[in-house]
Amino acid sequence: MTPDLFSVSGRLVLVGSYTPEAGGNGRGITSAWAHADGRLEAVSELDVISPTCIVWHPNGARAYAACEFDPGRIQAIDVSPAGALAGAEGLRTGGAGPCHVALSVDAAYLFSADYQGGTVSAFSLDTSGRLEAMTDVVVHEGSGPVIGRQGSAHPHMVVCRPDGHIYVVDLGTDEVRRYVSGARGQLQLTSIDPMPAGCGPRQLAFSPGGDSAYLLGELTSELFRLVVRSDGSLRVRSSTRVTGSPMADGASHLFLSPSGRRAYVSNRGPGTIAVLDLSCEPAVLIEEIPCGGTSPRQFAFIDDRLWIGNQQSDSVRSYRVRTDAQEQHIVTQEYVDTPIRTPTWLAPGRRRPEESWEPSVTSTPLGNQGQ
């Protein structure tokens, strides 16, 4: 379901931004063509309240955003072939502050994690991707030892697996909860896997073979290698610090390379992208790359470049990526910076139809190139 992240030039990207309702200064969602030379070519903007996660429908004609506000809301967006954006239907999540959304493998359901409300919601979709109705909402309960961050449950991410398991990472309770979806979209809890106390689980990613997984702890800046048992439950095997900085927390986004031999992590405090070697046990931190701004909340590999959303410096930096022996090497001497206000998420979508493309709203080359 996820678009190929290493591909040819000219891929449409949806960029989310915090809006004034959540302390940001962006408008909502910007669509732009991401070129292999690092340029972002803006196409359209859509007013959406603080979209902190965006996911594409497989049809490439619509997307869904988690609007991190109270009351929480999921917003559907229609995307034209030229990249123009239009607001479609939206539904409330039944909680507050949704920060992540994920599609089921068959694209029949959409799930949201409400960070502030401590809830997880399910929504049915029709065959065209239209939001139909909320089919369930479950409430997480519990807390963790970190005062000020773990006073209650804070679901932070939903991961849907091909075997039907739905994993929910909870930063507030130091847990990963596993669900299955019933025939009518009800969420049925099957296990609760405890993670190290105070780590603050933020994101989860599975290896290409699915026999192991990696959990990012925001509050301790650790990457945990997990064993995936035969029943789908998780057990911690080892851990690695994702930064050499003494700053205790701020790890934000996790991505595994297609080979499964590298992990990339954004560190908001020190402002770096960490590269870890997963072929070792435990994983080894081999490099930290400057993000080119402040507070790198999320990043994406697109068109053989690494694109980094620097939330607090209102910018997106792209580095060239060289591929050797199926591994990506980031060339920090070659970069382009693009002004984007309080960016939160970059969602790569379809390729640009070069022969038929016409600018629909605006077509503005953005960015300053570095040497």
Residue-wise pLDDT tens digits, 123-171:
999 999 999 999 999 999 999 999 999 999 999 999 999 999 999 999 9
pLDDT digits (tens, 9 = 90+) for 285-332: 999 999 999 999 999 999 789 999 999 999 999 999 988 766 778 999
CA-to-CA distance for 88 and 95, rounded, in angstroms? 21
Residue type, 336: V
All residues at 6 or more sequence positions from 199 whose CB lies less than 8 Å from its CB, including other chains? 174, 215, 217, 218, 219, 220, 222, 224
**Considering only 7-16, 69-78, 97-106, 338-347, which range has the smallest mean pLDDT?**
7-16
Tell whether 349 is covered by a domain. Answer: no
SS3 content of the chain, % helix, strand, coil (to 5): 0, 55, 45
Given pLDDT bands bounded at 50, 70 and 90, which one contains residue 249?
confident
Structure tokens given for 362 = 């605006």
Q: Which residues partner with 76 through β-bridges?
A: 64
Q: Which residue has 């960029």 as its token pair?
A: 15
Report CA dihedral (164, 168, 173, 174) to the nearest 10 degrees.
80
Instruction: Let me know: does 184 contact 114? Beta carbons within 8 Å.
Output: no
139 found inside a domain:
yes
**Range 251-271 average pLDDT:** 96
Identify whether 35 is part of a domain.
Answer: no
Instruction: Give domain status of residue 96, yes or no.
Output: yes
At residue 141, the pLDDT reads 97
Is 346 a domain residue? Answer: no
3-state secondary structure of 312: helix
Q: How confident is the model at residue 353 (pLDDT cuts 50, 70, 90)?
A: low
The 10s digit of each residue's pLDDT in 24-61 is 999 999 999 999 889 899 999 999 999 999 999 999 99
Q: What is the CATH number of the domain that holds 114?
A: 2.130.10.10
Give the SS3 label for residue 118. coil
pLDDT at position 357: 35
Q: Comparing C-alpha atoms, which of 255, 241, 254, 247 is closest to residue 271?
A: 247
Q: Is 352 helix (H, G, I), strand (E, B) or coil?
A: coil
Separation of alpha carbons 200 and 222, rounded Å? 10
Asked whether residue 119 is assigned to any structural domain, the reply reads yes
Give the span between the Cα atoms of 85 and 76, in whole angstroms: 10
For 336-340, what is the mean pLDDT? 95
- Could you say which DSSP state residue 313 is in? G
Give a yes or no: residue 370 inside a domain.
no
Sheet holding 327-339, edge to edge: 296-302, 305-310, 315-324, 327-339, 368-370
Quote the pLDDT of residue 362.
33
- φ, ψ for residue 144 (rounded to 5)? -135, 180
Q: What pLDDT score does 162 carry?
A: 95
Q: What angle do CA 201, 207, 210 make, to 5 degrees?
A: 105
Beta bridge partners, 188, equal 180
Do β-strands 201-206 and 212-217 pair in parallel, antiparallel, or remain unpaired? antiparallel
CB-CB neighbours of 172 under 10 Å: 23
By residue range, what is the domain housing residue 156? Answer: 50-301
Q: Is the pLDDT of residue 120 over 50?
A: yes
- Please indicate, yes or no, if residue 150 is contained in any of the structural domains: yes
* E strands present in 229-367: 234-241, 251-256, 262-267, 272-277, 284-290, 296-302, 305-310, 315-324, 327-339, 343-351, 364-366
State the total domains in the chain: 1
Radius of gyration of the chain (CA): 19
